[in-house]
Amino acid sequence: MTLLQGKKTYIVALIIVALVIVEKVLGIEIPGVEIGDDWLLIVLNGLGLGSLRAGIAKGF
């Protein structure tokens, strides 16, 4: 787990944004994932998660 230490939150944020891109932009249905009409809110949540982690890592 030392390979992913400090990077797991970034990976989750990237997966969130990538799922929305695949569902909405490419139009590919992913089983078990329901994006809905509030896709922009989900993208902003993923980006916020990544920036929150970056702020904590810097010690602000």
What pTM was estimated for this model as a whole? Answer: 0.81
Residue 50, pLDDT score? 92
Contact 16, 59 (CB under 8 A): no
Contact 53, 12 (CB under 8 A): no
pLDDT in tens, 9-60: 999 999 999 999 999 989 899 898 888 888 999 999 999 999 998 898 887 6
Residue 58, pLDDT score? 82
Contact 6, 57 (CB under 8 A): yes
Residue 17, pLDDT score? 94
Confidence label for 5 from pLDDT (cuts 50, 70 and 90): confident
E strand or H helix at 50: helix 39-58
